[in-house]
Amino acid sequence: MRILSALALLSWSSVRARGSQEPNPPTWPESVSVFTPDSDPAEIQKKVEAAFAMNGNDPADSSMCNNGQFSNERFAFMFTPGTYKTDVPVGFYTSVYGLGESPTDTNFVGGKGVYAENGCGWFQVGALDTFWRSAENFHTSSAFAWAVGTGMTWAVSQAAPLRNVKVDNDLLFFEYVTGDAAGYASGGWASGIEVGGTVSFGSQQQFAVRSSSASAFDMPVWNGVFTGVDGAPAPQCGSEGNPSISVESEVPLIAEKPFITYVEDGGKFNLVVPGVESDTSGVAKPMKNATVVPFESVYVTDPSDTAAIINAKLAEGLHIVVTPGVYELEDSLEIKQENQVVLGLGFATLIAPSSGRPCVKVGDVGGVRVAGLLLEAGPWETTGGMLQIGETGKFEGSAANPIVLSDVFARVGGPTTGVGPVDTMFNVQSGFTVVDNTWLWRADHTDGNGGDDVLVKNSDNPVKNGIVVNADDVFAYGLAAEHTTEDNVVWNGDRGTTFFYQAEIMYDYMEDEWPHSCYRIGEGVKDHKATGLGCYSYFRDHAGSCAHGVDTGGGNFNIDKAVSVWLNGVDGSSIKNVVNNDGLVAEAENPHQFYCSA
């Protein structure tokens, strides 16, 4: 597939067409810290450790697990180009950003550098709940000797992306915590990584890697997908004890996530909007064909801002940087101009408005970038999706100027129960939309691990679907949707593409057969491509079953590899087929079933 990749040919002049200039440098709120190489190392360490004390914990401390998992504290630590000896532990709702044009502009040379450890010292929990954190755009020469390798540890699960990072030594996506037991992990996502040593997945159940390279990769436990990756492992059909490995040599259509750079002369900031590329392989190059926007044309929010304030800035044609905080919206944020960018920092969290409208609505315009946001349901009904892409459902979009959603996450429940109902988390109605890493989560627990008092039961926090696609030419890289009360994914558009998918069926279903599937392709769809699909079951409260992990609606599509996993559950529970009616039953006696196309 060859698609025009010159975003520079597109006009960005329509954005920021009127209105007064914004200050540059902006006034950052307290949730954002900007460090320079001249900053006192002790002060840097003090700040990052104070954040970690609120939103993290040492896994060696068995008295505490996943501290800060549902905290309201949010942090962005931004490091201007230069060299830093600081070790930066990354906890919940914390993001670390290098502010150079290249990862090698910002260098961490300390013992551990930037790192994320298991959130819990019990290996059965390990990193399973190590969510909502990120690290981007730097170089680390860390040579710390972890239990299983030397280099950088990033032991995480969903919604914890690692982007555009150069690692001199090994990159470890898991961690040993007690004796010879590796903490369980359910990741994950990495893109734009360049690793001089080995990338080790260890106990990671599944993982997606895009546009990267390494000297060597080992394999996750059940499902690995490598798209446009140099040095990827060989593809293989899964079998008991051997994971399913999907390898796509090229990324058909992508634009990298927008990011911020720092200009030393004058201490100003720019917003970099990477160009559109097609059929790419190897390490991502975000500056290629990029548009650089000075912050005079960028509105930087304050966590006290209302939707009306932010929408007024959008109407002026400004791009928006949403600073870390929890925003209780009274209305949707509405993006109506072509090529506008809304970039969240530090897991800026948007609570769905009580009017029942989406958190974010994108009109019938192309080139929009939405990135770095966490969308959260409120204790009221939300219809039309928590994120709505497209106004009329008739916008076909363009390969030359797609809508791109990077690291946008959603949850229904978590900090509390009794939220919703929600019809769908993502509602995609515009063609040529690219979903680049997401986790759409109906919460299965509230404020801790273990014990019936924190488990979600009886279909509480109802949300029907994770994502509904009603448009053609939609791409998804790194798609995850869990615990929805109906089909996790519904795909009704033609020429859809999914490279990596992970889902869990709702734990609290109380009937004999769940009449839905993890991934459903609608009747009438003519063309669809997917590889590396995973559907897992844990019928915790009743001996339920699911007829099809993947249901193609009767169509004969290119489903390359898929896996069903019986995680646990009441005796007699099962997934009866991996894809359609293939007869591959995942149950207690045979918990792993693998499908491969002929």
**Active-site residue set:** 504
Q: Are 422 and 412 in contact (CB under 8 A)?
A: yes
DSSP-H helix ranges across 206-331? 307-315
Other CB atoms closer than 10 Å to residue 21's CB: what's the count? 11
Please give the Cα distance from 584 to 580 (Å, whole number): 10
**Cis bond before residue 41 (omega within 30° of 0):** no
3-state secondary structure of 577: coil
- Residue in 189, 173, 59 with CA at minimum distance from that of residue 126: 59
Please give the Cα distance from 270 to 178 (Å, whole number): 45
Please give the Cα distance from 293 to 13 (Å, whole number): 11
**Continuous segment of H or E residues that includes residue 52:** helix 41-55
Token pair for residue 323? 């600073």
Please tell me what DSSP assigns to residue 6.
Answer: -
* Beta strand pairing call for 106-108 and 82-84: parallel
- Find the largest Cα–Cα distance for the chain: 67
Q: Are 174 and 193 in contact (CB under 8 A)?
A: no
Q: Which residues is 565 bridged to in the sheet?
A: 536, 592
- Residue in 504, 425, 409, 521 with CA at minimum distance from that of residue 464: 425
Token pair for residue 459? 């279909």
Please give the Cα distance from 260 to 283 (Å, whole number): 19
Cβ contacts of 423 within 8 Å, gap of 6 or more: 382, 383, 384, 385, 463, 464, 465
Distances (CA, A) of 384 to 49, 422, 568: 40, 9, 34
Please give the Cα distance from 222 to 592 (Å, whole number): 8
